[in-house]
Amino acid sequence: MTFNIYFIGAKDCLKNLTELCCSSDISTEIFYQLSQTCYNIQSLTIGFERTITDGIADLISVQRNLKSFDIMLCHGLRVDEQTNIIFSSL
């Protein structure tokens, strides 16, 4: 799946994004595209599911002013399983 931002002004709006809350199981391409535009996220909350895409690490690594990174763990997995999935992906 290819994801591109085509809305006029979308990149300008997204470059000023300071807060993002999302799930880990969305397309890695979406996270990658956000990493090409959003550098000033201050608060990032990710609900981690069984699938964790590579694009999350891309998005986190380009942030210049990340002050808060919150993880919401999914139900149905043990905490140690979730921790292993998350840290092996980042």
b/e map 7-41, b = 16+ CB within 10 Å: eeeeeeebeeeeebeeebebebebbbbbbebbbeb
What is the value of pTM for the model shown? 0.74
Q: In degrees, to the nearest 5, what angle opens at C-alpha 21 toward C-alphas 13 and 60?
A: 80
- Going residue by residue through the chain, which has 90 residues, state the pLDDT in tens, using 9 for 90 and above: 455 556 677 777 888 999 999 988 888 888 988 999 999 999 999 887 776 777 888 898 899 999 999 988 776 667 676 667 666 655
- 54 with 24: CB under 8 angstroms? no
Query: Which residue is associated with the tokens 């809350």?
Result: 21
CA distance 78 to 22: 21
